[in-house]
Amino acid sequence: MSLFAALTDKPWLSPGLGAEARARPDERPGPWDKGIGLGLFLFVVTMLFVLLTAAYLMRMGAHGGAEAGSGSHGASHWHAVGEPPLLWINTAMLVASSIVFHAALTATRAGPSLASRALLLVGGLLGIAFLAGQIALWRILDDCTHALALGDAACAVRAAAPASAAPVWAANPATAFFYLISGLHGLHILGGLAAWALTGKRVLAGGAGIVRAVQLCARYWDYMLLVWLVMMGLFVST
């Protein structure tokens, strides 16, 4: 090959490569794939929840040390968060949402269809239902004053709360941590729903890149499910 031919060669226009790229354009990430950005974002979110988990365990440890030692009043109001049935219902909805998103991804890979769009819609609606269930759960905990915590089975509090007119979240650091951690998780679910809406709009419009968009949406939902399962396990076990 002459020097001029080598300098003017355009391998990206070769028939074989071009045909392959046109066949599966959304399976060939560019120099800055959106998956890299999502991975970096999830790393930052992971560090945030790790720090919150460490703070939760340290605060709980301070309560245990106070009980074993002098019984300091500042650490004596730690009471385990209860397990209302709605907690498990919400968890089941988030699990179902993640499964449906993967079903939508499989259907989208087979080609855009009514089934793939319906599955994507159902996955997002389950996410909305989870968020609505979380809000209802926060209201249940907020309504559990000391009288309810002592006698109402719906609150499912496993330890007697101190006699105080203040809401449980104000009198119990464990409940305050539950509000904080589940609230941050809910905000990230809300962000995921925004991404889901954009993905749905892109799927309806058709064109290249829809498989990758649904794939990233399903990946984000898997991460949110994993975080929730870890956090729920932490609250239930402590």
Q: Is residue 5 included in any domain, yes or no?
A: no
Greatest CA separation found in the chain?
91
Place of tokens 């101190």: 162
Q: Cβ(124)–Cβ(49) under 8 Å?
A: no
| Separation of alpha carbons 215 and 31, rounded Å | 18
Please state, as a whole number, how many other Cβ atoms lie within 10 Å of the Cβ of residue 3.
Answer: 7
Domains held by the chain: number: 1
The residue segments making up the domain with residue 131 are: 85-238
Q: What is the CATH number of the domain that holds 216?
A: 1.20.120.80
pLDDT (tens, 9 = 90+) of the chain, 238 residues, equals: 555 555 555 444 444 444 444 444 455 555 557 788 899 999 999 999 999 999 988 887 765 544 444 444 444 467 767 778 899 999 999 999 999 999 999 999 998 889 999 999 999 999 999 999 999 998 887 766 433 444 444 454 444 444 444 555 456 777 888 889 999 999 999 999 999 999 999 998 887 789 999 999 999 999 999 999 999 888 887 7
* pLDDT for residue 33: 73
* pLDDT for residue 44: 94
* pLDDT for residue 130: 97
Q: Is residue 111 included in any domain, yes or no?
A: yes
| Separation of alpha carbons 222 and 225, rounded Å | 5
Please state, as a whole number, how many other Cβ atoms lie within 10 Å of the Cβ of residue 211.
Answer: 20
Q: Is residue 119 included in any domain, yes or no?
A: yes
Among 171, 169, 185, 158, residue whose Cα is nearest residue 53: 185
HSE (CB half, 13 Å, CA atoms) of 62? 14
Among 103, 120, 127, residue whose Cα is nearest residue 191: 127
Q: Is residue 46 included in any domain, yes or no?
A: no
Q: Is residue 29 included in any domain, yes or no?
A: no
Q: Is residue 114 included in any domain, yes or no?
A: yes
* pLDDT for residue 35: 84
Torsion of CA 139, 141, 143, 149, to 10 degrees: 160
Q: Is residue 63 included in any domain, yes or no?
A: no
| Separation of alpha carbons 7 and 176, rounded Å | 66
* pLDDT for residue 116: 92
* pLDDT for residue 217: 94
* pLDDT for residue 173: 78
State the alpha helices, DSSP H only, in the chain.
3-8, 15-23, 34-68, 85-109, 114-143, 146-151, 168-171, 173-205, 210-237
Q: Is residue 72 included in any domain, yes or no?
A: no
> DSSP for 85-142?
HHHHHHHHHHHHHHHHHHHHHHHHHT---HHHHHHHHHHHHHHHHHHHHHHHHHHHHH
43-to-36, 51, 134, 143 alpha-carbon distances in Å: 11, 13, 24, 35
